[in-house]
Amino acid sequence: MLTSLRFFTFLISLALTKVFFITNFFDTKHQAATLLRLSLLGVLAIFVNACSSLTPKTSTPLQPRIEKPSVALVLGGGGAKGFAHVGVIKALEENGITPTIVVGTSVGSLVGSLYASGYSAADLEQLALTTPDSALTDFTLSNQGFIEGIKLKNFINAKVNGQLIEDFPISFAAIAAEKNTLKKVVFTQGDAGLAVQASCSVPNIFIAPRIPEKVGKKYIDGGVVSLVPVDSAYDLGADIVIAVDVTASSPAQKISINSILPAVTSLSSFWALLENNFILNVNSNAPSKNVVSMPAERQRADIVIIPEVGHISSLDTSQRSTLIKAGTEATIPQIKAIKQLITDKTYSKYTTL
């Protein structure tokens, strides 16, 4: 293409030279020839500029676009022991690891919703150490349960400034179960407080909320069907799943509904009731197959963090600090493996042109 243009330009130059001699020879037409020369020179200039613009430029080679893998933090149920989740988040944050998805069951949904809405680890720790149980507990007389759950819903919505789940800076999902069918439900949109209320509604203790309110189905604690919801995290598109299980307990510990009902008059009962949801649900509502499948689901995570909290049962402020510390201590040894996993995923499957 460029060779043809250069040849064409050369022909125009010859034509101009010929015109120059002819017009000078016929002196009587000197003025007209001058105009013709100027016109042809203009045409030549246009073609020269065209040739220059078509000159190829050195192109910058395409650089690979690095896409970071989606990392899910899965926070399991476990009541008071859920304070350890705060310590896990603290350790991850201090090492520059921020999940893109947070999935929580029961107390895991409570902590997870606050974190996903924008709370830092320091904010969560302060809230954990200063929030009285009375801010979350509303007793009532009903044949459906004796904790209404409205205080919990309002507490969450106030702390997240009324944000809907889909507006959180980090994607969030709360796990619950349909009361009548025990079908797992994953809430990723709508009223954050209501989703957390459903996820924390231990059967026979909390009154099961309806979603949508007043007209929808009733929902109960997600621990009935998915205590550590690893599979839900994968379903939501996670490439890497970090799961936290805080339900480790001493073999001698035996809990039943009858043994904890007298404790409801204590302000610490909110966490006590949540803490034992797994045992209660296994003994009453959950199909036997769920008891077998729950540990298997946890093991499908890429990283499993198990804080040593089985020996901790007190719920005063000092024990909350101990639980948070246990979460941090269980996470720190896993940091290197988590970072390596993120690096491996990034530079293998997730490197594209």
Which of these is catalytic: 70, 106, 199, 269?
106
The answer to whether 109 and 196 are in contact (CB under 8 A) is yes
Exposed e or buried b for every residue in 162-196, given b needs 16+ CB within 10 A?
ebebeebeebbbbbbbbbeebebbbbbeebbbbbb
DSSP secondary structure string, 196-232? HHHHT--TTTBPPPEESTTTSEEEEEGGGT-SS-HHH
Annotation says 106 is catalytic:
yes
Check if the beta carbon of residue 193 is closer than 8 Å to that of residue 156.
Answer: yes
Number of residues that make up the chain: 353
Q: Is residue 352 helix, strand or coil?
A: strand
Only one residue has tokens 């080679």, namely: 61
The residues, any chain, with a CB within 8 Å of residue 63's CB and separated by 6 or more, are: none
- 142 catalytic? Reply is no
Beta-strand runs (E) in the chain: 65-66, 71-75, 101-105, 171-178, 184-187, 210-211, 217-221, 240-244, 303-305, 351-352
CA atoms of 130 and 134, how far apart (whole Å): 11
Residue tagged 């002819």 (tokens): 22
CA gap 75, 88 in Å, rounded: 10
For the record, the structure tokens of 276 come out as: 């034992």
Distance CA 23, CA 198 (A): 97
Q: Which two tokens stand for residue 32?
A: 């007209």
Of 191, 221, 231, 239, the catalytic one is: 221
> Would you give the distance in Å from CA 27 to the centre of its chain?
87
Residues designated catalytic:
106, 221
